[in-house]
Amino acid sequence: MSPREIVALRDYLSPELNDRTISDAHHMVSLTDVLSHTVLSGRLHELAGRSVLLRLSNQLRSGLAMIELDGIVRRMLLCPPDLNPAHLDTLIADAGIDAVVTDEPDRWAGTGVSLVVTAQLPLQATAPAKTERATEWLMLTSGTSGVPKIVGHTLEALTGAIVAEGPAKGPAPVWATFYDIRRYGGLQIFLRAILSGGSMVLSDPHETLADHVIRLKARGVSHISGTPSHWRKLLMSGSAAQFAPRYVRLSGEIADQAVLDGLKAAFPNSSVGHAYASTEAGVGFAVNDGLEGFPANYLGNRNGVEMKIVDGSLRIRSTRTAHAYVGRNAGPLTDGDGFVDSGDIVELRGDRYYFVGRRGGIINIGGLKVHPEEIEAVINRHPLVRMSRAKSRKSPITGGIVVADVILTEGTDPARAKEIRDQILDQCRAQLAPHKVPAVICFVEALDVTPAGKLARTNA
């Protein structure tokens, strides 16, 4: 062993812990048996030391392949399901990929990738592998229309927050997430399930929300995470009844007071917390006091995570941040001092910081900068509003005005629309500068959510 022991995912899977499973809508696999089984038809040794593209059509095979590959391959690049195939060639070149793990091997015939390994179920028995090296985990950023950036992590950085928190109290958790585990938010939950000695219930894009919740209940899910948009959809669906997780977690978007209160009302016996994390900055912190924003004393150095605010945006330095962007034209991921600029704009009110929006998401209203999220947070405070989206609309007078699309809670009498619109506008006028008050409010049935679980903000 090297001076510092290298730990890979398999080393968290103890053969003594029984009853651990990972499951999706169709299959359930024992996390105890996984050590002596292979999803790669026993071809793991061929991949040792390689840079592997993990391109699979479902999360279960992806998760099992991650467990098997970690500690054996040099690099693995996780492809989220919505990755545009047109970007694959660039990503393969940038990451120096020399092997692919796929469940569609025909697609890779004649593509020039020298080694193609098929991942398939059921698992086959094999001799347990031994951790050889610290694999570099490559993840892709979301939210850009061009080629996504490749972000380099280590398992140690990815699991830093989980290790720091220590083991969960009580029985081993059964984790679930609305995210896909090939994205940072979902991977965090998958890793939590592995490290905690618990189980993992995966989402399925082809399943209705009602069926998903039935499955979450049937599998005894105790800990569950999603974006505020995921959670608002669940609250709107009326499917949350009888589901009683111990821990409800939000991340990936601003958790406003309305969604926190809505979850607390829907899950009165659960602890509801929101976490701040990004693919680049890693996990920053969790907030468990039921309030939006975070206490101002989180700034500075706290549990090894250093945070500061420069030009209004949150900057983070810790051992949990990614170590680099990977690729031929990759820019620096941190500033000269090692801080990642999150691009998330915060505002100090009293002794708390509040997230007001993304630097890149600013809309321009008559020359004044407006964060749509700030307006949505006020609209969402109306008790009959479930979800909203503010955006700009061209105006011949001021260049732009704010308009908002709003979803009302299920069962709201349509005859009350006018009255509710006036109440929302009163609320906005009381709490927002005049140019931020929506000029027009439209009631809509649905709002688009991106594959990454975030409210779609195509600002046409």
Partner 1 sequence: MSVRSKVIEAIQKIAKEQHVTLPALSDDLSLHETGFDSLAFAILVARLEDETGVDPFTISEDAAFPLTVGDFVRAYENVPA
Positions touching partner 1 (CB under 8 A) are 366, 393-398, 401, 403, 425, 429, 434-435, 439-440, 442
Smallest gap, in angstroms, from Cβ of residue 293 to partner 1?
29
Between 264 and 435, name the residue whose CB sits nearer to partner 1: 435
Q: Is 114 exposed, middle or buried (0-12, 13-18, 19+ CB in 10 A)?
A: exposed
Smallest gap, in angstroms, from Cβ of residue 410 to partner 1?
25
Smallest gap, in angstroms, from Cβ of residue 401 to partner 1?
5
Between 15 and 399, name the residue whose CB sits nearer to partner 1: 399
Smallest gap, in angstroms, from Cβ of residue 460 to partner 1?
15
Between 304 and 399, name the residue whose CB sits nearer to partner 1: 399
Taking each helix axis from N to C end, the angle separating 257-266 and 228-237, rounded to the nearest 10 degrees, works out to: 50
Smallest gap, in angstroms, from Cβ of residue 249 to partner 1?
39
Smallest gap, in angstroms, from Cβ of residue 423 to partner 1?
12
Chain centre to alpha carbon of residue 95: 22
Between 43 and 393, name the residue whose CB sits nearer to partner 1: 393
Smallest gap, in angstroms, from Cβ of residue 397 to partner 1?
4
Between 328 and 394, name the residue whose CB sits nearer to partner 1: 394
Between 427 and 450, name the residue whose CB sits nearer to partner 1: 427
Nearest-angstrom CA–CA distance, 283 and 278: 7
Between 220 and 366, name the residue whose CB sits nearer to partner 1: 366
Between 281 and 402, name the residue whose CB sits nearer to partner 1: 402
Smallest gap, in angstroms, from Cβ of residue 439 to partner 1?
4
Smallest gap, in angstroms, from Cβ of residue 380 to partner 1?
20
Query: Which residues sit opposite 52 in a β-bridge?
Result: 76, 99
Neighbours of 402 (CB within 10 A): 23
What's the order of all strands across the beta sheet hosting 305-310? Answer: 294-295, 352-358, 340-349, 313-317, 305-310, 300-302
Between 155 and 437, name the residue whose CB sits nearer to partner 1: 437
Smallest gap, in angstroms, from Cβ of residue 433 to partner 1?
10
Between 332 and 367, name the residue whose CB sits nearer to partner 1: 367
